[in-house]
Structure 1
Amino acid sequence: MKKKTFIMICLTVIFGMVLGPLQSVAAAEATWPSGTYPAPATGSFTRLNGLFDRVSTDSSPIKSGTDEVGFELNADQASKVGSVWSKTPFVDLSKDKFTLDMQIYLGNKTGGADGLAFALAGTKPAGPGNGGAALGIWGSPEMQNGTSEAVAATGTLNSFAIVVDTKKSVETLKSGMDKNVGYPAFFSSDQYIGSGYPSQASMYKIGFPYWQTELVFTGSGTGLRNFAKPLSTRVNNGNWQNLVVSWAKTSSGGTLTYQIKGAGLTTVSQPITWTNAQIQSIFGSTKLFLGFTSATGAASEPHVVGIKSLADFNTVSGTVTLKQGNDPVTIDKPLNIGDKLMYEYALDVNNIDGRPWKATNIALPKGEYLDYLNSGGTPAKPGDNLEVNVTIGSETKTAHAIVQPDNLSVIITDMPEFPNNTESLVKFSLPVQVQKHDLSSFTSITHDTGTFTGGTPSNSYKLTNTVNQANTLTYVIAANPGELTLEKVPGFYFEKLGVSGLEDPTVADVINGIPGQNPFPATSAGIDPTQWLNTLGRKTPAGYDGFISVKDSRPTKPGWTLSMKLSPFTRTEGGYVLGDNGNTDGGKAQIVLIDTNPQAQLKVASIKDNGNDTVVKSMPAGNSDWDLKDDSSTAPITQALMSIEKTPSVHAGKYSSTATWTLANAPQ
């Protein structure tokens, strides 16, 4: 039911209607501390805060202020075994690609002291590995009268290792670990880079005649292949060496490539291809722990490592949920015009890199029948800047969504940075409303969930719909149900027809009464205007409608009822009701609405000024719009007549009455 309220004024005046960013600052690159070890000539180190466990007490983090920028796997001391491993298995072989760019430092001594290893493992070691020639990663070199299987069982389980070995093992009764490296006769370094599988029996053989443990580096054959390549010069030469490990996935498995290069060193590069089955056989998983191990024997050298970036190992994902209230929108709940909805977004960024993570561009589409809402709740326009509250953990910051020219998406470019070395859950939302439309049937809408771009190097990520785990959102827009609207109602100015034309009534006119005609004429030709106050002067008050108009766009056309009531006419200069002799209920005046259309019944309705509701029009089902106006060439009006009973107690002044119109959505 709808109501509109109006004021009508008669006698000496108009008888008229009254209608009633906090943006985080990018952290500087981590720097190498001055002190025991020289800074690398090139490159930088990422912060490793809280990412690795010191599995061996011989290992320690290297700090620059409060930042961990590397690890001293072991100091320049004899008989040490270093070991650090990531707290979580963040190296993921199911990823398409990644690169680990590392710097290693092995001191500056003429002789070697065993070396260090880069390792990947499906199972994180609980303690440091075997010392000496085993480099903290291989099986025991001192298992006399053992077997290959027994040696492998003492190596790091479910692992793959890349070793930089700085000392040629001397064949003894117990060990000749490096016997099969194939050192060149004319190279003096006696150092090599190699790779293999510490817990695989094929990595070892038992030598003869001394029953010594030997590493197997064939570089050929089928199955898992173990490689060793001599280095052209010593790597424990006081310089940093660059060790790079990269991964490229294929549908059948992938290729891991390692490379070592440095000042005066001939670059060595080795690719290794694994099938998916081999990955499971080696590691038991595609998600691997990253570790570094080292060892010194009777001689000593330091083993130091730093990582340039871990950005490739960040895990980034995002979701979107379109909600109505607390419930996700689904296709079995059609959306109606005016329904308010909320796009809720969540970005999950596990940033293990030492630099803050930045989302540089977030593109968020919406459906064509939805309007973004600004802070005032009104539909946004292309180019509008919508303020967005962003929660990052327990903090709330501000970003801005710019409505695009097509009004079908927004772009956010000032999202606050996400902190380094931690996981951040970032949440924000955008309100929308179903806009007015002319859809005649229920319509399914599908649109993209959106993307966000960020990180270093920059990557693009698709949002996932939490309802169907897809990259699209689907919902149903209900057909336009139509609307029943009271578009116009009139304001009246009543006058009498005097000798010189239309004029305002006098006090004497009201005292004597303005009787009207009884019975009411059947046609407009029978109306005697001298017996009525009328609207022939067409003095509709400025700013008010001149006629009645009802519009019904509802497709079912169930009908409707329009009623009207008048409050007692009251003098505006004081609290006197027309005809008041102690009774303020009114009822002295009566308005008759007429229809001048010859095909219609002349009298539409009679309404007294006593506050009682009177039906003006009851439209039966199957019909819709209705207007009550004349067809004059001047401004069309609803014509009305007024009669007033004899009122001896009338006071001079201006009188008005409030008209209340009620449009109900069914006939009566």
Structure 2
Amino acid sequence: MKHSKLKTLIMTVVAGMLVAPGFSTQAVNEEIVKQSPEQFFGYTWDGNSYPMPTSIGVAPGFVPFNDIFAKLEGSSSTVLTNSKGADIGVELTNSTPEKNSDGTTKSESGSIWNTAGNELDLTKNFNATMQFYLGKEDSKTESGDGIAFVMTKAKPSIIYPGGGALGIWGNLTTKTADGMPNSFAVAIDTNANADYKWDTAVYNQVKYSSTAETDYILSNGTSINQNYIAWGYPGMKNQYRIVKHTSYDALNNKTIEYNKMLAFANGGSKYEDVDGSTTGVGEFDLVSQGALNNGAWHQMDIKYVREGDGGTFTYTIKLKNPNGTPSGTEVTRSIHWSDAQIQSIFGSTKLNWGFTAATGVKFENGVVAFQNIPGLLDNSFESSLVDTAGNELKHDAYIEEKYNQAFSIKYNGATSRQSWPAAADGTLSAILKAGSNYGFIIDSVQDMTAEVKVHNVNGDYTLRGVAIDPTVLQLKNGETVFYVKQLRVQGIHRQDMANTDDKGQTLTAKTIATKLGPAETIDAGTVGGDNGVLSTTADMPAVKERPLSLDAVPSFEFPKLTVAQVVGGFTGLSNTAANADALKQSGIVMQLPQDAQFTLTANLPSFDLGSDYVAGSSSIKFDFAKGDSTGKQTVTLPDNGEDTPIYTGTQTPNSTAVTNVTLNMAPYPKVKVGNYGKEGNITWTLTAAP
């Protein structure tokens, strides 16, 4: 007998949930969950007087490293080391500088660079997240002058001028472009040198049209009360406007003939100088005075992406308050270089990189910490919602449906400089986060842990994610589910640089859609070891009501009937064995909205065996598993062409078995010998209403 299906109806309701009334959690799990990100990943910030870099989401604000940086001899820089012997940051300048013999403040010039083997390669992608700390300016202390991130062909062998030159721009009083050659810099300037000095063009924001001295010493009265962030090329002549300015340098007993000022290309700026006209290079952004020296750690992300015959370098600076919350608008700029430009600017695709900083009569801290080191690890971290077969969900999720959230760790040992983690006996740890409409299913209420499966080319394994304070969700089918929003996982296998076949591993955690809500991009968590951490986001699908649908209904197959059977009538003729087995596996499959009153009916038309055959004199009888406390019910479906109620209720499993199927027929003596091949077409209808 065949079947068809008709009619769907969708309704919307809100699922109910409640907070668990208190569960016993093992003390060790509670301790792990309540640790700060730095404690959980095993990072120690000590051995210095600076505040610990603020966490970025659930990621530590810094990561330990070793043998990455070395200071330029004679500079004021130093590498910060903690009590465990790990490097944790670099100090370029400090707020308590030395004094000259006359009691004046001794200026500082910081310069620190990568060690051999830790260069950047412009033929490959790289990225880094770092945080910088410039101290706190108050009524007694004026800050200056700033720091710079620099990439250059060759590490400098000299310390470039300090003060407003920041150790990159060169000499203020020369006519030549004597800044750091073959270099690119992102400068973070905290002091306005607005009269006869570097910053005149920036803080006056003037498009100069002459070389008169008065034309460059005027201030607009507002901009000098701001700081700037800019990118440029310290070794290029077009980076500067050189003007005639005669003065006497008493300290060095010589006459100054020229002043050199920064010239940026914002808005098509044009600068007239002693050698004609220049348009400037690079760009600057102004930020509020004090926003950089507010006692906060500020975040700087850099990213380089190879694109065809070149690459694009992007920096994003996120200014923050001391508690780590955002302060003001992000500053971001992207610079594209063709391969020809890379050779023209740098003269090489393999670059040294580091930081410079300077103080003058004003001084400040200049400290940098890293969340990951550019070029050290070729790794990535991604997350997505997948179905139980492991396929990424490309459509809306349904309320109370169970899924998996996948976390993919990718690592390329062939292009990394270290294993991850570096320690041979180390492992990775992760903090996993679910979206606001989802939760990780706790499968062990006793110790509040969840199964986390890990797929790895070297062999799959299982870990336990720990959590506390679960929420209880009473499902419509009567099941009780405990879920949490965050899991902490330890013991993830090390990514060994020597094992080039091991390209990473994927963690999956059982997840349930807990409430209705729109699609969203979430902070999905962090994975890290002793030399690098990565965070990721995930695009989580919207959670909607499960649509009403009738996906499968039973087809009944019976043995061939004899004439004697039809003439005499019969009861209890069972369906074929194959048909009985199939119906036990999947008799009726339906999808039901939350808390809907649904009705399932079936309509079996008359078999119409011939003259005087009475509709309804035959029937199919079967048991239907309702999935509730009443167990099953027996249904008799007559062949009268009318809708017969199969079941009405609010609760049933999505898939229900149909068993004990029999065919019954009243005597029909007028049957004649022949092959009727009679089939009944049953119409099944599922409806729902609030």
Q: Same fold (TM over 0.5)?
A: no
When normalised by structure 2's length, the TM-score is 0.42
Larger Rg: 1
When normalised by structure 1's length, the TM-score is 0.44
